[in-house]
Amino acid sequence: MPSTDFERQIEQVAHLMQNSDSILFITGAGISAESGLPTYRGISGLYNDQHTEDGVRIEEALSGSMMQTRPEITWKYMAQMEAAFRGKSYNRAHEVIALLESKFERVCVLTQNVDGFHHKAGSTNVIDIHGNMNDLLCLSCRYETSVPDYSGVEIPPICTNCGGQMRPDVVLFEEMLSTRKTTHLNQEFQKGFDMVFSVGTTSVFPYIAHPVVAAYHANIPTIEINPDRTEVSEFVHIKIAEKAVATLNAIWMYLNRSTP
Ligand code: OAD
């Protein structure tokens, strides 16, 4: 018999999963917090200290217009962010999401994170809607390359192919999402999902909140894993106010328990 609220919630979620073929996981900075990465908002969030030492807000420093006019500023703060990520790796929460592919017909991950951890953990159907900070793109000749980290990279980087200015292949503030990725996402939505999880995100962007809200209204089970309340908390059937690693690991253990 389950004894705590947490155990009851894990049992409920696992039962819903056992009746599902397809699952969407929407993830944000909170899933990587237990890998030691800073989140954007909340405790030790990157955006809490609103003004940078260059006198601009961090959102301006990391914007498309700054990248065009003063790329050295954008690169400076991208490099600081990358330094905070360096040497860190995916955690058990990313790993469990990847392992779930062996149990379900279709698992899709829609992540806002630019750390690449879902790919590294083994997930094969990942839409990294904000890009990956290890991917670099030349603004002149469109040459693309991928680096393990920025340690050997001159900042701002110069294209080895044409000598042009390179940028990280991420979505900066004011910029549009990649149409290739939104097309992929729309294809996944057209196939539909039996369950939707929101893990470790404040869901401030409509394209992150909307799939949860729409699923909720369509009576498709929606689950949130986040210690705090967020934009979507009132649109989930089950709110687990716990951390991602403990929760996803408990779900995995429950799904794999041997039944007498
Ligand atoms: P936020 O920093 O806004 O939110 C992180 C969320 O994770 C918060 O709701 C925390 O409560 C939660 N959290 C913290 N630790 C957790 C844990 N161990 N387990 C589960 N949840 C935890 O990050 P995002 O929602 O990802 O975009 O931010 C979205 C976007 O805002 C980012 O992709 C970035 C930024 O602007 C761009 O750079 C374009």
Per-residue pLDDT of the chain (260 residues; tens, 9 = 90+): 557 999 999 999 999 999 999 999 999 999 999 999 988 876 557 777 667 888 888 889 999 999 999 999 999 999 999 998 999 999 999 999 999 999 999 999 999 999 999 999 999 999 999 999 999 999 999 999 999 999 989 999 999 999 999 999 999 999 999 999 999 999 999 999 999 999 999 999 999 999 999 999 999 999 999 999 999 999 999 999 999 999 999 999 999 996 65
Instruction: Indicate which atom in ligand 1 lies nearest the CA of residue 46.
Output: 2
Which of the listed residues 60, 78, 129, 201 should we mutate to test ligand 1's pocket, taking the one with most ligand atoms within 8 A of CB? 201
Determine contact, residues 190/162, Cβ cutoff 8 Å: no
Q: Which helix (H) or strand (E) segment is 26 a member of?
A: strand 22-27
Of ligand 1's listed atoms, the one at least distance from the Cα of 59 is 36
130 given a catalytic annotation: yes
* Residue 144, helix vs strand vs coil: strand
By C-alpha distance, which of 231, 228, 260, 235 is closest to 42? 228
Distance 81 CA to ligand 1 centre (A): 14
Pocket test for ligand 1, best of 32, 37, 39, 118 (most atoms within 8 A of CB): 39
Catalytic residue chosen out of the listed positions 119, 130, 210, 217: 130
At 189-204, the pLDDT tens digits run: 999 999 999 999 999 9
Residue 167 amino acid letter: R
- Calpha distance 58→22 (Å, rounded): 38
pLDDT in tens, 58-83: 889 999 999 999 999 999 999 999 99
Ligand 1 interacting residues, C-beta cut-off 6 A: 28-30, 33-34, 39-42, 45, 112, 130, 171, 200-202, 204, 225-228, 230, 243-244
What ligand 1 atom has the least distance to the C-alpha of 34? 18
What residue's CA is closest to ligand 1, atom 17?
Answer: 243
Closest CA relative to residue 74, chosen from 162, 175, 160, 163: 175
User: Are 206 and 213 in contact, with CB atoms under 8 Å apart?
Assistant: no
User: What six digits make up the tokens of 203?
Assistant: 């869901």
What's the confidence (pLDDT) of residue 3?
73
Query: Alpha-carbon distance 154 to 94, whole Å?
Result: 31
